[in-house]
Amino acid sequence: MTQSSCLCGSNVITYNDSAIVKFRCHCTDERKLTGAAFALNILFKATDLRIIRGNLSARGTSTGYPGLMVIKAGCIDLPDGRDPSTEYIPDVEIFTGSRVPWVMPIATARQDWGDFTSL
């Protein structure tokens, strides 16, 4: 099982390594949420996640993607302290029409103008 936690450690989630897709999102909502040019996310079936500790205020699945949940790659706790952002290379980039001009596409990732509903 892999574990993810928030910065203070109050919230902890575990899950198996059965990610549906690893993606880099360029949408404006993610930019506002993260304060960064994009977000590195991993999509899972909600049934593969287990809340170990905490009260996650935003838990649940989106009406647009029922039964699915996203983990931010930067929240993953790798056992040897490696940076998860270097371990989880995206399979796809979404909302590429909103990509800032100074961020280059990932050569090995599929480029999608919209979201990943076509997967």
Report pLDDT digits (tens) over 2-12: 889 988 889 99
Is 37 a domain residue? yes
Q: What is the pLDDT of residue 111?
A: 95
- State residue 116's pLDDT score: 66
The answer to whether position 29 is within a domain reads: yes
With respect to residue 116, please indicate whether it lies within any of the assigned structural domains: no
Within-domain flag for 118: no
Q: Is residue 101, in this structure, part of any structural domain at all? A: yes
Cα-based torsion angle of the residue sequence 22, 26, 27, 31 in order, rounded to the nearest 10 degrees: 110
Write down the pLDDT at residue 25: 95
- b/e sequence 82-111, b meaning 16+ C-beta within 10 Å: eebeeebebbbbbbbebbeeeeeeeeebbe
Domains in the chain: how many in total? 1
**Where are the extended beta strands (E) located within 46-95?**
49-53, 68-72, 76-77, 92-94
Structural domain boundaries, residue 91: 2-111
Report pLDDT digits (tens) over 35-91: 999 999 999 888 898 889 987 666 555 666 778 888 888 888 888 888 887 888 999
Mean pLDDT of the region 10-31: 90
The answer to whether residue 68 sits within a structural domain is: yes
Instruction: Identify the pLDDT of residue 86.
Output: 80
Is 77 among the domain residues? yes
pLDDT for 107 equals: 96
Confidence at residue 2, expressed as pLDDT on a 0 to 100 scale: 86
Residue 99, in any domain of the structure:
yes
Domain with residue 105: its CATH number is: 3.90.1590.10
